[in-house]
Amino acid sequence: MAIFLQEAGLLHKSLLYATDINPEVVKKAASGVIPMINMNQNADNYLHAGGMKTLAEYYTTTNDHAIFNVALKNRIVFSTHNLVSESSFNQFQLILCRNVLIYFEITLQAKVLALFHESLDQLGYLALGSKESLKRTSHVSRYKHVSKEKIWRKLN
């Protein structure tokens, strides 16, 4: 996300929050170090998503790892957060929640979706994973489906 915002000339105006319940996952993400074995797939995904350059322009390599440019990480806050037991901590214009809800039963899904709704600005966007949807939830009337890619826009 930081790369796309950089390419759009918006990273300097943005603040991204990257959260997970697991502190080790957060620590690993904050390091900006990714095994090179994953980079071919990541580069393909980047181009498929509309990347304007090559992904390699955003990292350096050392041995068998890619190290992302520090300038990208400067606009990201890495933090632990429990979607089930913690409340909202900001008003967001976009929430990306990719394939997390599938691990929750219906009651917990509803609780997390309520948190997302509370956390989104008016007309904010919610992007869900490929196996997730709002269609069979009580929240569907609060959003408009705007993309086949599971992107929903909060209604006024």
Q: What is the pLDDT along the chain (156 residues), one digit of tens a residue?
A: 999 999 999 999 999 999 999 999 999 999 999 999 989 999 999 999 999 999 999 999 998 999 999 999 999 999 999 998 988 878 999 999 988 999 999 899 999 999 999 999 999 999 999 889 888 888 899 999 998 889 999 998
Distance CA 126, CA 143 (A): 9
> In b/e form, how buried is each residue of 7-24, taking b as 16+ CB within 10 angstroms?
eeeebeeeebebbbeeee
Residue 31 and residue 56 share a domain: yes
> Which domain range does residue 107 map to?
82-154
131 lies in a domain? yes
Q: Work out the number of other CB atoms within 10 angstroms of the CB of residue 101.
A: 22
Distance of CA 20 to the CA centre of its chain: 11
Residue 62 and residue 40 share a domain: yes
Residue 102 and residue 87 share a domain: yes
Distance CA 125, CA 7 (A): 20
Residue 39 and residue 62 share a domain: yes
Residue 100 and residue 41 share a domain: no
Q: Give pLDDT, residue 5.
A: 96
- Count how many domains the chain has: 2
For strands 65-68 and 33-35, give the pairing. antiparallel
Residue 123 and residue 107 share a domain: yes
CA distances from 69 to 14, 72, 77, 94, 149 (A): 17, 6, 15, 23, 28
6 lies in a domain? no
Residue 145 and residue 89 share a domain: yes
